A = this chain, B = another copy of it.
Amino acid sequence: MSRIEANPHPFPHDGLSRSTTALVVVDMQRDFLEPEGYFGALGYDPQGCRAALPGAAALLGAARAAGLFVVHTRQGYRPDLMDLPAHKAWRTAHNGAPIGAPGPLGRLLVRDEPGWQIVPELAPIEGEAVIDKSGNGAFYDTDLDTVLRVRGIRHLIVCGITTDCCVHCTIREANDRGYHCLLVSDACGSGDSKAHEAAVYLMTVEGGVLGATATVSDVRAALSAPGLAA
């Protein structure tokens, strides 16, 4: 039985196999990764998020090579903002970067705008799922659970941005739904480096109550080892 040597426990509990494991790449969109996007409007230096790019690209390559199912998530609101709760509208206005306001990459956090696109180096290919969500958690109001269930997926390797917000929200929802989760620390990033560190640390406490964490190198080694189960 092959497993990834993760912290604080090996992943997945019942052995790695191609058919039961998916890679989930969270919100690698221009709005978060380019200086002209939403995070830039909020005053964040994009480098904290961009730090996830090389790791996420390597992980995506390894997952594709190993034949894992791949899911990309993408955050964005309807153009008329009818799915935007009042408190989120207020908060982003209060912070000076209101959802829906115009910017160099189009309207902030709105579907179909340039800023909403996944960055080209991680662009989804045929056979991969793209999950459009307006919430932080990728299970909320989406068909992610259905897509995974139809395929018999039970284990998720998760990377993307931000470690502290959408990556963690998605892992927490998945964990309660019965998916064993692995956060890949050097394929995640955040506009706030201390928040990234905090979110990685939270994967290690209480015996891994939310799952476990490993590095890109750990995951690649396991995915490319001979004898990966079907």
Contact = CB atoms under 8 A, between A and B. Distances in A.
A194 B14 CA distance: 30
A51 to B, nearest CB: 16
A159 B6 CA distance: 31
Nearest to A170: B172
Contacts of A147: 82-83
B208 A91 contact: yes
Contacts of A141: 141-143, 145-146, 176
A129 B141 CA distance: 15
Interface string A123-141: 0001101000011110011
A120 to B, nearest CB: 21
A209 B136 contact: yes
A10 to B, nearest CB: 9
Interface residues of A, number: 67
A146 B207 contact: no
Contacts of A172: 136-137, 168-169, 172
Query: How many monomers of this chain does the complex have?
Result: 4
Given A83-B143, A136-B172, A146-B177, 10 more contacts: A44-B206, A95-B208, A136-B175, A164-B202, A168-B202, A169-B172, A172-B172, A194-B201, A198-B198, A199-B202
20 contacts: A12-B87, A80-B127, A83-B143, A83-B150, A85-B177, A86-B178, A87-B180, A91-B207, A136-B209, A140-B173, A141-B141, A141-B142, A165-B205, A165-B206, A192-B206, A194-B201, A195-B202, A195-B205, A198-B199, A198-B202
Interface of A: 9, 12-14, 42, 44, 78, 80, 82-87, 90-92, 94-95, 97, 126-127, 129, 134-137, 140-143, 145-147, 149-151, 154, 162, 164-165, 168-169, 172-173, 175-180, 190-192, 194-195, 197-199, 201-202, 205-210
